[in-house]
Amino acid sequence: MTDQVVITTHTHMLARVLPDTALRFVNIKADESREVLNGGTDLINA
């Protein structure tokens, strides 16, 4: 089992101190479903 810490922020400076691969981006689509994207890719980090 892996421990998890959930941090929500609107401040990009906080996210910069974490490894890209540890980040997840939760996107709310037009139909209000959630899409969870893994960090560390150009698509998300752009």
Segments forming the whole domain that contains residue 24: 12-45
Predicted confidence at residue 41, as pLDDT, reads 61
| pLDDT at position 26 | 84
Cβ-contact 24, 38 below 8 angstroms: yes
Those residues whose C-beta lies under 8 Å from the C-beta of residue 28, and which sit 6 or more positions away, are 34, 35
Q: For the chain, what is the radius of gyration of the CA atoms?
A: 12
What predicted TM-score, i.e. pTM, was given to this entire model? 0.53
Residue 40 lies in a domain: yes
Angle, CA 2 vertex, CA 14 and CA 35 arms, to 5°: 60
Is 25 a member of any domain?
yes
Q: Does residue 3 lie within any of the structural domains? A: no
Number of domains in the chain: 1
pLDDT in tens, 1-46: 677 777 777 777 877 888 888 888 888 999 999 998 887 665 555 5
| 27 in any annotated domain | yes
Flag whether 2 is in a domain.
Answer: no
Contacts of 29 (CB under 8 A, 6+ apart): 35
34 in a domain, yes or no? yes
AA identity, residue 4: Q
**37 occurs within a structural domain:** yes
**Does a structural domain hold residue 29?**
yes
pLDDT in tens, 19-28: 888 888 888 9
